[in-house]
Structure formats: C-alpha cells, structure tokens
Amino acid sequence: MTAPNVNTLWAETLVAELVAGGVDAVCLSPGSRSTPLTVAFAEHPDIKVFSHLDERSAAFFALGRARRTGEPTPLVCTSGTAAANYHPAVIEANQSGVPLLLLTADRPPELIDSGANQTVDQEKLYGDAVRWYRDMPEPEAEPRKVRMLRTTAARALAESTGADPGPVHLNCRFRKPLEPTPVPDDDPAGVPAGWAGGDDAAEVGRDGPFVTTSQGVAAPDERTVRRVQDTLRSAERGLIVAGPADQGLSAESLERLATATGFPVLADPLSDLRFGPHVDRLDVPVCGGYDGYLGSDGVDEWSDPDVVVRFGASPTSKPLRHYLRDADCQQFLVDPAGGWSEAEFTATDLLVADPDATADALAAGSLGSVAASWREQFARAEQTHWDAVSETAAETYWEGGVLSDVAALAPDPATLFVSNSMPIRDMDRFGRPRDADLTVLGNRGASGIDGITSTALGAGSATADPLVLVTGDLAYYHDMNGLLALGRCAVDATVVLLNNDGGGIFHMLPIDDHPTFEDQFRTPHGLDFEPTEALYSLEFERVADRRQFRERFGESVRADGTQVIEVQFDAGDSHAVRARLAERVAETLAGD
Ligand SMILES: Cc1ncc(C[n+]2csc(CCOP(=O)(O)OP(=O)(O)O)c2C)c(N)n1
Ligand SMILES: [Mg+2]
C-alpha cells in the first residue's frame, strides 16, 4: 500500500480491514475532519456509498440497513455536534440490539477543551449505549500500532454483531493534513521510506481479515432441555409467544417447536413470524388478533395458560403483556443476549441461548399433546376477530383499516416499515397473519417518532423487496430531511401517510379532556405535506376512501419511484371504531 501521508495510510488500512470483514457499504456525511476516512471509503472499489447531508438521518438509515441485514453499515461524520446527531439512532440500536459502527472524526487530544473550532468532548459520547468504545490513537506508520488498527477493525465488527448485537463507537483522531496530500517521508505526518515495500502483516494485511472471528451459538445444556421438556410435556394449556426481533427465531424452528408442543403461536408483527408459509402449514393457530380479544370480557373466563415459551423482546401488545402478567404460570424467556427485556417481570426462567438452538433442542423430544379445546379457543377467537375486522372495514374506513389493507395487499415478498404511535399498534391488531414473505420492521427499542423515514429507507436500500412505509403525520414531519435519501441513495418506496393532524395516540390517554390537550398533546399543525412532492421529487397523492386507497396502493407497490399516499382521518373517529370493533368481538366471544 502506498500512501501519501500517515492519515491516508491509517484510513485506508481501517477501510481495507472492514471490507475484509464483510463491510460493503458506508453512510458518509460531509465535513473536514473526517476527510481521511471519507476519501478512503469513497475511493474503495468494493464500497457502496450512501451520502447523507444530515447525520441524524444518516444514523437512522444505517440502523434500517442493519435491521434488514443483521450487519452494520459504518457511519462517518466530522467532529462536533455532527457526532451528537447520531445519538437518537444509537439509543434505538442499543435498546433493540441492532449493529451500528460509528466512526466519528475528532481533533488531536491537546485541542480538547481549548476553544478550538468545532471541538467538543467526544469521549464516550454515547455513554453506556454502545457495546464497545475506543478512543483511537493518532495515526502513525508504526507496525505495532497498525496491527492494533487492523485488530480493532475486526473487533469492532465482532462486538457489534453476535449474540448481543449493538452499536460500537470508534473516535478517530486526525491532525492535519487531512487530505491525501504527499508529505515527505521524514516528516512526522509522512510514511517512512520502505513502509510500502515491506511484507510485514502490519503493512500489507492478510489474505482475508486480519483476525477471523467465529462466534459460537449458545445452546441450552441437556439438563435444562430435559427440565423444560418435562414442563412442556405436562402442560395442557401452553403458548408460544414471539415478540419483536429482527434476526430472531426462524420460521423453521418455530414450526418444529409448535408441531412438537401443539401450542398456539402468538406472533408479534415485528417477530418476523406473523407472516410466512408456516402460517398455513401449521396445525396450531398462528394468532395475530390477540391484541383485540385478550383482556376482553369473553376471554376473562378462559383458564390461564400453564406454561409460556417466549422469544424476542416484550410484545408490542399491551393486552398480551397484561395477559401474561396476570397468568400464574411458568414462563420461559429465551434471550440470546441475556438482556432481561422483561418490563412486566413475568418470566420465571431465563434461558440465555440461541432461539433456534433452543427451539430445536426442545422439539427433539416427545412433548405430549396439549388439550385440543385450548387450541380451538384461540382459533375461534381469531376467527371472530378477523370476521369483525373485515365487516368493519366494509362499513367504514379508519386508521386500522389502512393497516389491515396494507398487510393484506402487500406484495409477496415485501419489506414493511411501520412507524410508532398508532400505526404499529394498528398493524399489531389488524394485520392478519398470511402466507407471504413480509418482513415487518419498526423502531420499538426506544419507540421514538424520530428517524422513521430514514430507518425505513435504510431498510429498503438493503433489499430488492418493494418497500412500504406506514407513518403518522408527526413522524413524517419529524424526519422530512430523511426523504432526501430517496434520490441521493436511490431508494423507491410506497409511503402511506396517515394524516390525522397531530398525535392521534393522545386521545387514548386521560389527558384527553384537559384544557391543554389540543395545544400541547394532540398538537394539530395544519401542515400541507403536498409540497414534499416538488422538494423531494416524489409523487404525492391524497386519497379519499378505501377503494381509492386500495387501488393506489396496489399500483404504487408495482411502480418505480416513490409515491406518498396520504389518507386523512379524524383520530377521535378512528378510536371510536377501534372501540366498537373490540366490543363486537367481546360480545361474540362472551356469547359463545
Ligand atoms: C422523538 C419523540 N418525541 C416524542 C414522542 C412522544 N410521542 C409518542 S406518539 C406521538 C405522536 C405521534 O404522532 P403521529 O406520528 O402523527 O402518529 P399518531 O399518534 O397520530 O398515530 C408523540 C409526540 C416520541 N415517541 N418520540
Ligand atoms: Mg398523527
């Protein structure tokens, strides 16, 4: 490797090792201090560059890519507040276990706290929200240091992936010259003569990554497997609950466990198990309507489950979380990260092991059979719920009806990103399980309404699937900057914009009748989003009813380019429909 100066050498070495470790894309934002990294990434032939002008959007875009792929896409920004703009996405990545690799450029240490321009304290900027932090030493063409650099690249990738994935932060210090300008080899910023000609591994690297990391898969030990199997075998009313997880339990392992146990499956829309061929193939019901009927009067009389096997994070559905909280039974939580994601404190057993390895090991034994009446109870409740959803959709159009249509009409395959607030709740309640390869993603780690568009577009950039984003109006407003990625990063999407002029979710809270409700909670803004069409070169269309929506949605998912389909609702009316629908289900179930 020939490098004009030590910064170039350092950055090229880091990038080469990341590429050797599997990195094939980067999110770059403009700035001066990051010049060595930016040039090294931009000029690498095997790197696809996603250029972002806004670091907050950049980090959410990288988050979205990682949600879709399970692999980190490095982020590069300059020093100062640029790095702080990564923070919201870092928090989300930390709390939902998504790989991120943050390469923040920084000044040499003597300039910290000196009044130097664009210089802030970037040491451990993201606190405990990262899996690993490293304040990188200043670049130097010294074999031991360069071996450290190569090893650091391998370690950064390993620390951000594996059983407990998350963000990794390397604070990269550079002193001038930052550009690839030649510096004499006897200058401190120069590369010593003969460096490029050596064959030391520090100088040229290895054939492949400098350090190959192999991460084992934790399987439960035999005694644990036997103990859990004994409990499952004696159960009459077992359940499998699949919570949110981007790279969690596979459909194949779920099928094996569900077949062996006969337990109904309650599949969160973010579990990647709500949709897929297993839905029709399994004899046990794969349930998606539980948010609408658990906790209703008709279900009150049901017996509690006597055992629950849970995968993934806490379910999106509050009625399900409460149902599990109130069930006096043994609950096994399988969590490879050992993260104790247990807001209701209902688990009685934590199995720190790989979900597939655990499900497969449990399914290998004979587990007896669960009472048929237990399964039928869920199957009947599901049927009642979905009948009520389609009858209601035929009579009236409400926000939940849009989510029901999106789940039913999304092409196979498709990637769906669903915003926080009511859209994800409505997808949870009204997105009917079906045999289609739908990857449904959301930001439920910290449930922010920021960065939604960018995360969706990042996910879209990592797949050939058609991309659908369902967003609320405040979430759309919050990340309008993210729309620039449509053109700059060449991503197409169908954006379903549910515009109820403010935060419709707040109607569900007791603050609903307080004098401050309108101005400080619902916050109607009256914004007309149509001009985003001209600003971001997309097609914007407002539809008036269900027929129009279904027609435009169907056209858009097959079309090139990006279409924003806005549907306007009154949030109060939508809540009234949700309530009526739930009553209808409860009455039918109570009458059964
Ligand atoms: C960054 C951030 N700020 C504030 C909130 C609090 N919050 C939760 S939902 C919501 C309203 C969202 O409005 P919209 O996107 O229009 O969805 P709707 O409630 O209408 O379904 C707000 C402000 C949040 N979750 N994240
Ligand atoms: Mg809204």
- For the chain (length 592 residues), average pLDDT per consecutive 10? 90 98 98 98 98 98 98 98 98 98 96 88 97 97 95 98 96 97 94 82 92 94 96 95 96 97 97 98 97 85 92 96 93 93 90 97 85 93 97 96 98 98 98 98 98 98 98 98 98 98 93 92 96 98 97 98 98 96 93 76
Ligand 1 neighbourhood includes 472 CB (under 6 angstroms): yes
Supply the pLDDT for residue 19: 98
Residues whose CB is less than 8 angstroms from the CB of residue 8 and which lie 6 or more positions away in sequence, other chains included: 36, 39, 40, 180
C-alpha span between 289 and 293 (Å, rounded)? 7
Best mutation site among 398, 420, 449 for ligand 1, i.e. most ligand atoms within 8 A of its Cβ? Answer: 449
- Does the beta carbon of 474 sit less than 6 angstroms from any atom of ligand 1? yes
- Tell how far the Cα of 473 is from the centroid of ligand 1, in angstroms: 9
Q: What is the reported pLDDT for 499? A: 98
Q: Counting atoms of ligand 1 from 1, which one is nearest the CA of 422?
A: 21
Contacts of 516 (CB under 8 A, 6+ apart): none
Classify residue 494 as exposed, middle or buried by CB count within 10 Å of its CB (0-12, 13-18, 19+): buried
Which atom of ligand 1 is nearest the CA belonging to 450?
Answer: 1
Three-state SS string over 76-88 comes to EECCCHHHHCCHH
Burial class (CB in 10 A: 0-12, 13-18, 19+), 562: buried
Q: How much is the pLDDT for 278?
A: 97
Residue (of 504, 447, 477) closest to 564 by Cα position = 477
Count the neighbouring beta carbons within 10 Å of the beta carbon of residue 115.
6
Instruction: Look at residue 297 in the predicted model and tell me its pLDDT.
Output: 76
Ligand 1 pocket test: pick from 398, 496, 505 the residue with the most ligand atoms within 8 Å of its Cβ: 505
The pLDDT, as a whole number, for residue 219 is: 96
What is the predicted pLDDT for the residue at 339?
85
Which atom of ligand 1 lies closest to the CA of 448? Answer: 26
